[in-house]
Amino acid sequence: MASPSPLGVPELTDEYFIENRNRLLEIAAFLDRLDRADPGRGRSDFRIRAFREALTVLAGTSPDYVARIQALLSDPRSEPIPTLDRKSALGAYDRWQTETGR
């Protein structure tokens, strides 16, 4: 069970609301740009699919937002990969690989 916050709702809101309001606007702008570039991109790029699923988690009321989103974006495999296929992280695990043929 998570420990209670040392700050109450009014204090947390006063301290962090504007910062997180800005983050929401940045996310909205990002999604708007994607839609203008290619309205179907969210269905074809696994990172955007995972991102949209994470937004659904945030829109819900279940607890443990961070843990649920971290699990959603992380590679669940525990075995090492035989060779490094990229030099940089992708930010999300492509659990749709078999669907897309990649």
Q: So where are the chain's domains? A: 7-37, 41-78+87-95
The residues near 76 (Cβ < 8 Å, ≥ 6 apart) are: 93, 95
Residue 74's nearest CA partner among 94, 56, 88 is 94
Does the pLDDT of residue 9 top 60, yes or no?
Answer: yes
Core vs surface per residue 25-63: b (16+ CB within 10 A) or e:
eeeeeebeebeeeeeeeeeebbebbbbeebeebeeeeee
Which pLDDT value is given to residue 42? 66
Identity of residue 99: E
Which pLDDT value is given to residue 91? 85
Token pair 């078999």 is found at 98
Which pLDDT value is given to residue 102? 45
Residue 59's nearest CA partner among 86, 24, 26 is 24
Summarize the confidence of residues 11-36 as an average pLDDT: 95
pTM for the whole structure: 0.77
Summarize the confidence of residues 57-67 as an average pLDDT: 91
